[in-house]
Amino acid sequence: MTDDPHAQFKGVKPVEERHRLDEAALDAWLSANVEGYAGPLTINQFKGGQSNPTYQIVTPQQKYVLRKKPGGKLLPSAHAVDREFRVMSALHPTGFPVARQYALCTDDSVLGAMFYVMENVEGRVLWNGALPELEKPERRTLYENKIATLAQLHNTDHVAIGLAEYGKPGNYFARQIDRWSKQYKLSETENIDEMNRLLEWLPQTIPAGERTSIVHGDYRLDNLILHESEPRVIAVLDWELSTLGDPLGDFTYYLMNWVMPHDGRAGLGGLDLDAIGVPTLEEAVQLYCAQTGRDSIVSLDWYFSYNAFRLACILQGIAGRVRDGTAASAHATQMIARIRPLASAAFMYAQKAGLH
């Protein structure tokens, strides 16, 4: 037994029977489409990757990562692996820390669904926001680097790198609330009064002053690959929810770590931040504002309410997939248990922001 509570999500395992790939077809496709590829290949499956099955392809010379759409009935617009491939391909040449992309396959006849292949970035993936693995000065440096990395994304000129059409400009929060509300309703497994109230209140109270940038959509500690020995980000993973939108959606989602209770995951709530060397919420806001040319962020409670609501909707989507038999992970049932507490948190922040 291991002491690591996240061991079940770390590293690779043999491919599950239901996620098995046609090795001969994949080998032929890689030979034709990936420069420098030479078999024979071995395929492992990454333990994480809840929504899109993710594989490690090992050859004598190199390792690759393959992400593909799952099989089965899917919600509209979910699992857009072609979008992940496109945004990372555009960002990589700018020097933003992201894996190099090799090729995208839109032909379902090869492996049964669309997939793409990228480099396998070697480094560390950490889960615990308190960063027990690091020394105190390194913790602060890593937090500063994570904030600087997100600011770098938001400062990237999306038009200049060919992503002008990557999402719709403007009305980001209105569109997100609409999108996740619909997903919530499609996947609903129980009636939660607080969610019903939020469905009504959030779209009517969106803060003014929107900007547009590339947003990652799920910027958190375990979606980052860190350098093996230095406290810095070398690759941002999991671009499935990325689009053009208001960068404050991304940044305030990341800030949720400071208000979520510490349970061995990314949440920092209740920890003595000064003692462990982690910036305070106020310092995190100042660092981000300084790097993105803002004075401050008003209406943080509204953003916290929105983010908790959005997470509840995403988890409800997973609950719906469990109900329909298409979810990729046994971990999904634990996710369902988090929906009600998130709905309560979203409602509490909404009340702080003026919901009566």
Reported confidence tier of residue 330, pLDDT bands at 50, 70, 90: low
* CATH topology match: 7-119 vs 136-352: no
- CA-CA distances (angstroms) from residue 200 to 196, 197, 343, 347? 7, 5, 14, 12
What is this structure's pTM? 0.88
Q: Are 177 and 306 in contact (CB under 8 A)?
A: yes
Look up the CATH architecture of domain 7-119.
2-Layer Sandwich (3.30)
In a 10 Å sphere around its CB, with 0-12 CB exposed, 13-18 middle and 19+ buried, how is residue 349 labelled?
buried
What tokens appear for 75 in the block? 């919600």
Mean pLDDT value across residues 270-287: 98
Reported confidence tier of residue 75, pLDDT bands at 50, 70, 90: low
What tokens appear for 34 in the block? 């990936």
> Does the structure show a pLDDT above 60 at 4?
no
Query: Which residue from 84, 128, 125, 23 is spatially nearest to 241, judged by alpha carbons?
Result: 84
SS3 sequence of 56-88:
EEECCCCEEEEEECCCCCCCCCCCCHHHHHHHH
User: According to DSSP H, which parts of the chain are helical?
Assistant: 23-33, 81-91, 108-111, 136-155, 172-187, 193-201, 247-259, 273-276, 281-292, 300-324, 332-336, 339-352
> Does the structure show a pLDDT above 50 at 154?
yes
Collapsed DSSP state (helix, strand, coil) of residue 233:
strand
Beta bridge partners of 116: 67, 104
Q: How many residues does the chain have?
A: 356
Residues 6+ positions from 165 with CB-CB distance below 8 Å? none
Predicted local distance difference test score (pLDDT) of residue 323: 77
Per DSSP, the residues of 112-150 read SS-EEEEE---SB----TT-TTS-HHHHHHHHHHHHHHH
Phi, psi of 325 (to 5 degrees): 80, 20
For the chain, the structural domain boundaries read 7-119, 136-352
Question: pLDDT (tens digit, 9 = 90+) per residue, 224-254?
Answer: 999 999 999 999 999 988 999 999 999 999 9
Q: Are 11 and 48 in contact (CB under 8 A)?
A: no
Question: pLDDT (tens digit, 9 = 90+) per residue, 111-127?
Answer: 999 999 999 999 999 99
Q: Are 215 and 246 in contact (CB under 8 A)?
A: yes
C-alpha 178/C-alpha 207 separation (Å) is 16
C-alpha 53/C-alpha 157 separation (Å) is 31
Question: pLDDT (tens digit, 9 = 90+) per residue, 21-74?
Answer: 999 999 999 999 999 999 999 999 988 655 678 999 999 999 999 999 886 655
At residue 205's C-alpha, the angle toward residues 200 and 209, to 5°, is 145
Reported confidence tier of residue 76, pLDDT bands at 50, 70, 90: low
User: Of 132-136, 300-304, 330-334, which range is least confident?
Assistant: 330-334
Look up the CATH architecture of domain 136-352.
Alpha-Beta Complex (3.90)
Mean pLDDT value across residues 256-279: 95
Mean pLDDT value across residues 176-189: 93
> Does the structure show a pLDDT above 50 at 2?
no
Mean pLDDT value across residues 282-310: 97
